[in-house]
Amino acid sequence: MTRYLLKRLAFAALTIFAALTVNFILFRALPGDAVSGLKCRQCTPEFKEAQRAALGLDQSLWQQYVLYLKGLLHGDLGNSWRPPHPTVWSQLWDPIKRTLPMILLGTVFSVVIGVSLGLLAAWRRGSMLDRTATGMSLAAYSMPTQWLALLMVLYLAGWLGLPTSGVKDPDLEIAQLLGDVGWWELFIDQLRHMILPALAIGIVFAGDYAIITRSALVETLSEDYVLTARAKGLSRWTVIRRHALPNAALPIVTLMALSLGTVVGGVLVVEYVFSYSGIGLTVVQAISERDYPVLQGAFLLLTVAVVFANLFADLLYPKLDPRVVLR
Amino acid sequence: MTGPLLDVRQLGVEYGARRSMIDGIRRRELKGVRAVDGVSISVSGGDLVALVGESGCGKTTTAMSIAGLVPYASGSIIVEGHDLSTLSSAERRARRRRVQLVFQDPYESLDPRFQVARIVREPLDVHRVEGDRDALVREALHKVGLRPAEQFLHRYPHQLSGGQRQRVAIASALVLQPALLVADEPVSMLDTSVRAGVLELLGTLRTEGMGILMITHDLSTAARYADRICVMYLGRIVEEGPAHEVVTSPKHPYTRALVAAVPRSDGAPRDHSLMPAGETPDPSRMPSGCRFHPRCPVLASGEAARLGIADRCRGVDIELEPEVGDHRVACHAVTVSITTHP
Ligand SMILES: Nc1ncnc2c1ncn2[C@@H]1O[C@H](COP(=O)(O)OP(=O)(O)OP(=O)(O)O)[C@@H](O)[C@H]1O
Ligand SMILES: [Mg+2]
């Protein structure tokens, strides 16, 4: 077990290293850089050269790469290129604090909606209910995220009375400055801003969960041990709860770990539509400004999160299925 | 108690052909497959009855509807004198306890996430059996030869051999103390070396008064362990009688072909000549008349014509009719020869 863990950790380190190298190259493969886009009166070619030198862009790619790695080894993600050059870490921390709970809520939405849909479909396989549920899952699965988000802004937000942009009510912000706001009020306000973006992500990914759950359940429901349990007199629902669903949990957990990476793609779009200043919006802004250090930092964190989510899922498998032995 | 433990009469089971959405829109009626078509079997306490027949003839379907897993369309299933169709669902649940099923594949029939103790205990919990359930679990394991029981309680199915798994499956059926055990090809997935052990176990249970219906492909197994043999062909029993008689003097041409094809201990060559290839039977295209007639050697050789029954074979369906005593056959040729040469 310890050996397995060490092996996996070494492999994780390797994966992260490869990913950050690819990121480093990819961002620089984009045409233009942080300086070429500048437009101002004093932006003469000489001024631009000076700026480049200040950011280290005049050095060769290789030199820049070595510098970047050196920084990382000291836990230094670098500084943003945007004046006044705050550290990348301070740039990312606040957005992460807003995005993380939103992704969590979104995942809860998608698991609850998706697993229930998949369960219904598998339970009444071949019926009208199955076709409706499967159709809905496929629709959710193939729906463009931004389109769904816009529809929600247009139709759902007003009806539910939820805010459609930002992370905080401006009135509340002023009240907070005056110092007469309870933490409960703040919490509720944050939650209200979070619900629609989370729901958009939740619905889009619910399709994945529904399809995986249905197929996993259809498979376990056709197993002999399910029939055996029925023959012993268990009710249909008890059989699903006690035998079929736990045995179908493996692919569902795998999907949870794997989808973390794709969810971030959805976050980018959703935060843009809802002007939700989380990590997605930060990345969008950093791309338009060619702020490489911030991009590198954001994608490094994402890589680490995905790698560790998968490691965690692997460690969970033996708990879900005693036949799995970690070696 | 008088009468048999299990009395299946004229059982008919249909699988509805799946209707696709297109069929629904076009209002096309699809005919179901009649997988079991008028099966009658009875099993008494202390009886081991073997149900023999080739693949797809409806053996598993019969077993499943006896266990209440597949609804039946016609006929009746009478367990210890109670007709299942007339019972309320609560009563049926209680009845179901008296009939337990053992599946063919012990690698599939045990939940891989459960330890042996929990697998064997689950039926007791479901039926809220009074008393020390853990003691009952140990007793059942002991009975099926997993001794000492403590050594097996906390193992997962994948930590057991195939033979041991099948014993666990049997233990989880026995723990409810059923009157009847239905075993669907209980040894066909097992290594030859452990088959005898499991079959001996069934034999022991029978001598203790349990009724056993054992489904098998293998006529020689049936001949060796069963008291009675029912031969099934395309959803119906075509011959039924004491095991020894069915094997030594088969009457139905299908049984004769099966017996001739069994490997012989004296090394005599197997004889497949009696079983003409014909078309493989398919319950969705049931032949008219006697269901065996398209493959029947009696008809093919012209003997039926000589007896003057060829038209009857092709046109008139036939059910089991007593030949001598409790040996019954569903064959026009046999019926005719009895009536003409008494
Ligand atoms: N769920 C089902 N839906 C539709 N048809 C089915 C279903 N299960 C079985 N059948 C059909 O019913 C017939 C009888 O099947 P059954 O499983 O009872 O045969 P069997 O005698 O047990 O065969 P084997 O020896 O291969 O186990 C077959 O023609 C099969 O195709
Ligand atoms: Mg079968």
CB contact B171 to A (< 8 Å): no
Regarding the beta carbon of B63 and ligand 1, being less than 6 Å apart is answered no
Using one digit for the tens of pLDDT, what is the confidence trace for B96-151? 889 999 998 888 899 999 999 999 999 999 888 888 999 999 999 999 999 899 99
How many of the other CB atoms lie within 10 Å of CB of B50? 25
Q: Is the predicted pLDDT of residue B194 greater than 90, yes or no? A: no
| pLDDT tens by residue, A217-236 | 999 988 889 988 988 888 88
B238, B231 Cβ separation under 8 angstroms: yes
A94-290: CATH class: mainly alpha
CB pair distance less than 8 Å for A231 and B100: yes
Chain B stretch 72-91, residues whose beta carbon is closer than 8 A to a beta carbon of chain A: none
Alpha carbon separation from A205 to A197, A211, B129 (Å, rounded): 13, 10, 45
pLDDT tens for each residue of B51-106: 999 888 999 999 999 988 888 889 999 999 889 888 888 888 888 889 999 998 88
Q: Is B236 left (phi over 0), alpha (psi -120 to 50) or beta?
A: beta
So where are chain A's domains? 94-290
Residue B300's pLDDT band (boundaries 50, 70, 90)?
confident
Tell me what pLDDT residue A35 has.
72
* β-pairing verdict for B33-43 and B6-15: antiparallel
Residue B91, domain member (yes or no): no
Cβ-defined contact of B103 to A227 (cutoff 8 Å):
yes
CA distance, residue A315 to nearest chain B CA (Å): 16
Assigned token pair, A75: 């836990």
Q: Check if B57 has its Cβ closer than 6 Å to any atom of ligand 1.
A: yes
Would you state the pLDDT for residue B272?
A: 67
One-letter amino acid of A289: E
Indicate whether B78 belongs to any domain. Answer: no
- Band the pLDDT of A253: cuts 50, 70, 90: confident
Number of domains in chain B: 1
Amino acid B10: pLDDT: 92
Within a domain: residue B163?
Answer: yes
In a domain, B139, yes or no: yes
Residues sharing a CB contact under 8 Å with residue B159, sequence separation 6 or more, in sequence order: none
Residue B49 lies in a domain: no
Question: What pLDDT score does B342 carry?
Answer: 45
Residues around ion ligand 2, judged by CB within 5 A, are: B 60
Domain, as residue range, for B123: 110-171
Query: What mean pLDDT do residues A62-85 have?
Result: 83
B50 assigned to some structural domain: no
Range of weakest confidence among A38-47, B64-73, B98-107, B295-304: A38-47
Q: Measured between CB atoms, does B182 come within 8 Å of chain A?
A: no
Residues A110-114, mean pLDDT to the nearest whole number: 94
Q: Say if A83 is an interface residue toward chain B (CB within 8 Å).
A: no
**pTM score, two decimals?**
0.80
DSSP per position, A104-165 = HHHHHHHHHHHHHHHHHHHHTTTSHHHHHHHHHHHHHHHS-HHHHHHHIIIIIHHHHT---S
